[in-house]
Structure formats: C-alpha cells, structure tokens
Amino acid sequence: MNSTALSDTARFEQLIERRTARRWAAEDRHLGRLDRLEAKADRHIGELCREGRTVFYISLPGVKYREANTRAELAQFLIRYGYVR
C-alpha cells in the first residue's frame, strides 16, 4: 500500500507540474501578444508639451481626438476598442 500511495502522490505532483507549466505558457503567450499590440499602438501616439507638461494624444481617421497623461492609457484604449490588431 505504501508504494501505491507514493505513486499516487508522484502522479498528483506530475499533474500539478503539468498544469503549472501550461498556465505559465498561456501567460507567456498573453504577455507576448500584449507587448506586440502595445508596440503597434505606440506608433499612433503623439506627444505634446503644454505648459511644461507632456501630454500624449491620438488622432486617427475614424477616432475622435483623444488626450491622456500617459502612453499606456492611450495604448490600452486603442487595443480595447480594436483600433490596433
């Protein structure tokens, strides 16, 4: 019975390791995809200096002119609404 318990434990640990590996792989794919989309979105973001502060903007055909304090906000906007694929 001890050998069965050990083999059950070993199989359970292998199962957990496989699940963890799949989860890490999925997260890696997601982050890679997000990086590529942010790089594409970054090309559409401009930069202004207004009263000594940096302001970021987008002005694309079919998209209302939009400003934000960070590039990340505008990149997420473009990705969320499908302007960058």
Amino acid 31: pLDDT = 95
* Whole-number Å distance between alpha carbons of 40 and 33: 11
Q: How many helices (H) and strands (E) does the chain have?
A: 2, 3
Sketch the domain layout of the chain as residue ranges. 2-80
Amino acid 2: pLDDT = 57
Q: What is the pTM of this model?
A: 0.73
Q: Counting every residue, how long is the chain?
A: 85
φ and ψ at residue 64, rounded to 5 degrees? -65, 140
Give the DSSP letter of residue 67. E
Amino acid 62: pLDDT = 80
Amino acid 67: pLDDT = 93
Per-residue pLDDT of the chain (85 residues; tens, 9 = 90+): 555 666 888 899 999 999 999 999 999 999 999 999 999 999 999 999 989 999 999 988 887 899 999 999 999 999 999 999 8
